[in-house]
Structure 1
Amino acid sequence: MSSDKQYDVCLLLEGTYPFVAGGVSTWIHNLIKGMPELTFTAVCILASSKEKAEYRYEVPDNFVDPQIVYLHDPIDIQKNPFKKISATNIEKLRKFHYRLDRNDISMMKDMVELFRHDKYPLSELFHGKKAWDVLVERYKPDSNDESFIDYFWTYRFTHLPIFKMLPLDLPKAKVYHTISTGYAGLLGVVARVMTGRPLLLTEHGIYVKERKIEISQAEWVYRKEDERMRIQSKLGAFQTFWIRMFEQLARLCYDYSSAIYTLYEGNRQFEIQEGADPDKIRVIPNGINLDDFLGLKPADHDYMGQTEFAVGFVGRVVPIKDVKTFLRSIKIVAIKIENLKVYIMGPTEEDKEYYEECVNLVRLLHLEDVVEFTGKVRVTDYLPKLDVIVLTSISEAQPLVIMEANCAGIPAVASDVGSCRELLEGRTVADQALGPSGIVTKVADPVSTGEAILKILTSPILRSKMSKAGIERVKTFYKESDLNETYLNIYKDYMAMEDLE
């Protein structure tokens, strides 16, 4: 992208808005919509052009000219095949990796400038003699028991996306704002190095933590319970390779960010553990538009005479949301409550194999007449008919669905991850005095989840108290207008800054 046009804010987004629906995307959408006086653009990182990039949101008028980068699309590696890496630059590559292994990121600026100004073809970076020698040197053939072929392909799969990010032409902006570390965070580092403009980072879920969970669940990773069945596993080393890469990308983003924002104290502590400067981090809780949810559930709802019940699950049908635990908990509820309807509201296409497994589990549990997969819907169309919202994620930050349900007067059952306990039991003394607006359960525990759902549905007085507590909690502590005002002031402060070193 070559243009003299300058935007107020350039968002750096990975697998999210406006092409993927979800809590983070909704947060971004509402943030942009709440600041019509600013002009936003974005670099949107998606997996592959084989998947259609269709807007999942009606984007505001002040969101313009988004640029799409496909992470895993093939690249013409023969372009400029005769350009060779100089001995000076290959030594820079060697020193950079040596220092990075020791958590020294002081040469990152050298790497960004090397890739942007010299733009070596990928054929040279992966098959050139000098680059090959560095790869073999890092493999340490005299002491490494792992397969070199596996090492080579792991290196290629992890580094190809990085090599694609480094030379990208980015939109000109007064402020760059990445909503994760990872590859989007790396683009933020590039923007900071090349433009000198401030880089802001907001983490909802901690990227490194979520990637670790995904890697641990990947089919190519041995489970702990299999440890006794094998003498040696080569996969452990490559699992570590992937995790280490994401940790290093996070450290780079933390270091180059002018400021770091996150949703609750637990996230802040994890960021510090991963190398972030505590003085840079500020906790800014999420917020929602109260007008969208207040009054959705009638104030005179008859809890006492109710004989039919509806349970909702809002989220993508993917492993990290642990839909299977939810379904098993519903089986427990369905045994006790005859007139039960369950809605699973969220996209099903992101992990089609997992979705099919969930559909099969519904059949296995004989819940076909109880459970409905709605796909992506307007949650406000369903909230009025719901009696409880359930969240069984194995990782969350500060889920909007709990705030939305509580604001509508609907109690929630949520696994003890992220800030769910704060949202349902209160964060401060004044917040806790309102009383619980739901029940927190153990992670991946269908029994405790099912029992919690039953407790709320079968206890009219408790449900009424939780409903009132939730409404008051969100009205007092989680207003979207407060969030937007906070970020608008942040943007204005950093937009006014001179270029940074």
Structure 2
Amino acid sequence: MSEGTYPFAMGGVSVWMDQLIRGMPDYTWDVVTMTVDGAERPVWDLPPNLDQVIAIPLWKPAPAAKAPGAGFRTPYGLFLEMVLTPAVMGEGSAEFLRVLEALFRYARDGGDLVGALTANESLAQLMDAWDGYRSEELNLADAITAGHLMGHMLRPLAEPPVRTDLTHVAMNGLSTLVAMAAKWEYGTPSVLSEHGLYLRERYLQYVNEPVSHAVRVLLLSFFRRLTGAAYVAADRIAPHSSYNRRWQVRTGADPDRIRVMYNGVDPSDFPLAESEPDEPTIVFMGRIDPLKDLHMLLRAFALVRESIPEARLRIFGGVPTGNESYHESCLALIDELDLEGGAVFEGRVSAPVVAYHAGQVVALTSISEGFPYTVVEAMACGRPVVCTNVGGVAEAVDDAGFIVPPRDHVAAAEAMTRLLKDPALRRRLGAAARHRMMERFTLRRSLDDYRAVYEELLV
């Protein structure tokens, strides 16, 4: 279960999901994915043991507002009270989980949960609750916007619960509602993975969302409560780094239910690079997304070119729907920094290994990550990496590359320049990278860890 990933999009989470399904052919899988409007089409070749793909389009046309029936007003009032009341992260998570279950039961008993959220009575209830708990103003337009958005986000509670032996959620957030519903209806055990930190990424996202301050406060408070409730609902929590584990514990997760599960790659898919390109080349491999902070990468590369004028930057990866304006801003920055011809967007590549073999150095300048495949794949190819210190990146790299602070393009440029100018250092770090990957981050080890967790819960 995930938001907007497999099999409708590429990226690290999709790679991980495909690995799990193909790597356990003795299991039959269903995939549930939150999509935009239901018009998406698979971009992956589906494995034979994938039985069905269930899409839940969050943004399909909402039903007309409908007066809420009996059983809605009380749980919605508790929902608003908890969302609008400031609290220490993790406090009240079990109570919020019970509130979500009450809203789910309302929908299962025939109530129109999505339509109720934009009914006049519910908008009035929202505004009254806001006045009781918040000092800033929430006007009617804001209330309508908030009710509309909340209806889309809670839509999974209005869908028929999935019936499986086990649910495995790829990320915290809205997709955990599907696992909660299965547990409430059928008692299904669940595993929750977290690649990046979902709540942190929502805070980063909503900085630039075109909504009012009041709506932003309401939505972020909802995500904060939902994140804590998901930690309570999960039978096992499987973060992809110790970094994520620390944050989960700090935000209310039970440490006894947490098991760190690193991503792994198949070494045969990422053979050791036997040669280097003729020109000094830096490679980026990944989706074109603000979280990857390609602006920082381009600014760093501009400094690299000052000392190595013949250097090149090759950026491999597709532009996800909705990120077109970010891609355009990167192209504009290339013009502004006079990097045309030196920095090139190559688009999607037939296989990631092609990208890693195309450069001497692989760079990742993200502002948020979990445990990125890009880093481990590049290490498998024997390429030294320059990465920002976010998520589990430093755990992956250790002494096999350079770790620099996020948003520090000067530090990144210094590390890239040093590597491009020192072939012996590249060889030493590349060999260390390959050894570290083989020792710790193979796909076989990752699959064995997940199988052990599944079997533990399915007893």
| TM-score > 0.5 by shorter chain | yes
Distance 1:142 1:335 in 2: 55
Query: 1:188·1:253 contact (CA, 8 Å) conserved in 2?
Result: no
CA drift of 1:236 comes to 4.0
Partner of 2:76: 93
Q: Choose 1 or 2 for highest CA Rg.
A: 1
Unaligned runs of 5+ in 1: 1-11, 221-234, 426-435, 497-501
Query: 1:346·1:376 contact (CA, 8 Å) conserved in 2?
Result: yes
Partner of 1:60: 47
Distance 1:93 1:363 in 2: 51
User: For 1:368-390, what per-residue CA distance to the aligned partner results, in whole angstroms no more than 9, with x for missing partners?
Assistant: 21122122212112322310000
Asked if residue 23 in structure 1 is aligned to residue 12 in structure 2, the reply is yes
Distance 1:124 1:487 in 2: 40
Which of 408, 413, 430 is 1:450 aligned to? 413
User: 1:127 and 1:286, CA in 2 relative to 1: closer, same or farther beyond 3 A?
Assistant: same
Query: 2:315·2:343 contact (CA, 8 Å) conserved in 1?
Result: yes
Distance 1:279 1:143 in 2: 36
Which of 329, 334, 348 is 1:357 aligned to? 329
User: 1:340 and 1:96, CA in 2 relative to 1: closer, same or farther beyond 3 A?
Assistant: closer
User: 1:137 and 1:59, CA in 2 relative to 1: closer, same or farther beyond 3 A?
Assistant: same
Partner of 1:155: 146
Partner of 1:323: 294
Asked if residue 390 in structure 1 is aligned to residue 363 in structure 2, the reply is yes
Distance 2:76 2:415 in 1: 55
User: For 1:118-166, what per-residue CA distance to the aligned partner results, in whole angstroms no more than 9, with x for missing partners?
Assistant: 322644442253x344223212279744141243034224311234211
User: 1:73 and 1:413, CA in 2 relative to 1: closer, same or farther beyond 3 A?
Assistant: same
CA drift of 1:203 comes to 0.5
Partner of 1:186: 177
Query: 1:391·1:415 contact (CA, 8 Å) conserved in 2?
Result: yes
Query: 1:186·1:252 contact (CA, 8 Å) conserved in 2?
Result: no
Query: 2:282·2:312 contact (CA, 8 Å) conserved in 1?
Result: yes
User: For 1:90-145, what per-residue CA distance to the aligned partner results, in whole angstroms no more than 9, with x for missing partners?
Assistant: 2233234435646232343322211211322644442253x344223212279744
Partner of 1:116: 108
59-68 or 152-161, which moves further after superposition? 152-161
User: 1:409 and 1:287, CA in 2 relative to 1: closer, same or farther beyond 3 A?
Assistant: same
Query: 2:171·2:193 contact (CA, 8 Å) conserved in 1?
Result: yes
Counterpart amino acid of 2:178? L
User: 1:109 and 1:84, CA in 2 relative to 1: closer, same or farther beyond 3 A?
Assistant: closer
Counterpart amino acid of 2:73? I
CA drift of 1:366 comes to 2.0
Query: 1:174·1:197 contact (CA, 8 Å) conserved in 2?
Result: yes
User: 1:64 and 1:376, CA in 2 relative to 1: closer, same or farther beyond 3 A?
Assistant: farther
100-109 or 59-68, which moves further after superposition? 100-109
Counterpart amino acid of 1:460? P
Partner of 2:343: 371
Unaligned runs of 5+ in 2: none
Query: 1:115·1:167 contact (CA, 8 Å) conserved in 2?
Result: yes
Distance 1:349 1:142 in 2: 38
User: For 1:18-52, what per-residue CA distance to the aligned partner results, in whole angstroms no more than 9, with x for missing partners?
Assistant: 11111111111111111111111111101234xx5
CA drift of 1:89 comes to 4.1
Distance 1:417 1:219 in 2: 27
Partner of 1:74: 61
Distance 1:145 1:54 in 2: 43
Which of 397, 402, 420 is 1:439 aligned to? 402
Query: 1:14·1:184 contact (CA, 8 Å) conserved in 2?
Result: yes
- What TM-score, normalized by structure 2, do the two folds share? 0.92
Query: 1:18·1:55 contact (CA, 8 Å) conserved in 2?
Result: yes
User: For 1:304-336, what per-residue CA distance to the aligned partner results, in whole angstroms no more than 9, with x for missing partners?
Assistant: xx8621210011111111011101111111222
Query: 2:103·2:113 contact (CA, 8 Å) conserved in 1?
Result: no
Which of 40, 43, 48 is 2:32 aligned to? 43
User: 1:382 and 1:394, CA in 2 relative to 1: closer, same or farther beyond 3 A?
Assistant: same
CA drift of 1:294 comes to 2.5
Distance 2:271 2:347 in 1: 24
User: 1:172 and 1:364, CA in 2 relative to 1: closer, same or farther beyond 3 A?
Assistant: same
User: For 1:339-381, what per-residue CA distance to the aligned partner results, in whole angstroms no more than 9, with x for missing partners?
Assistant: 3232111112430001011111112222221122122212112
Partner of 1:225: none
User: 1:291 and 1:136, CA in 2 relative to 1: closer, same or farther beyond 3 A?
Assistant: same
Q: Please give the secondary structure, in 2, of the residue aligned with 1:44.
A: strand
Counterpart amino acid of 1:93? Y
Counterpart amino acid of 1:463? R
Partner of 2:228: 251
Query: 1:189·1:252 contact (CA, 8 Å) conserved in 2?
Result: no
Q: Please give the secondary structure, in 2, of the residue aligned with 1:448.
A: helix
Distance 1:35 1:123 in 2: 40
Partner of 1:464: 427
Query: 1:247·1:274 contact (CA, 8 Å) conserved in 2?
Result: no
Distance 2:113 2:133 in 1: 30
Asked if residue 413 in structure 1 is aligned to residue 404 in structure 2, the reply is no
Partner of 1:226: none
Distance 1:325 1:122 in 2: 41
Q: Please give the secondary structure, in 1, of the residue aligned with 2:366.
A: coil
User: 1:307 and 1:338, CA in 2 relative to 1: closer, same or farther beyond 3 A?
Assistant: farther
Q: Please give the secondary structure, in 2, of the residue aligned with 1:334.
A: helix
* RMSD value, Cα: 2.1
Partner of 2:313: 342
Counterpart amino acid of 1:482? R
Query: 2:389·2:406 contact (CA, 8 Å) conserved in 1?
Result: yes
Asked if residue 288 in structure 1 is aligned to residue 262 in structure 2, the reply is no
User: 1:365 and 1:113, CA in 2 relative to 1: closer, same or farther beyond 3 A?
Assistant: same
Partner of 1:215: 206
Q: Please give the secondary structure, in 1, of the residue aligned with 2:174.
A: helix
Partner of 2:453: 490
Distance 2:389 2:457 in 1: 36
Distance 1:121 1:209 in 2: 28
Query: 1:139·1:148 contact (CA, 8 Å) conserved in 2?
Result: no
User: 1:168 and 1:337, CA in 2 relative to 1: closer, same or farther beyond 3 A?
Assistant: same
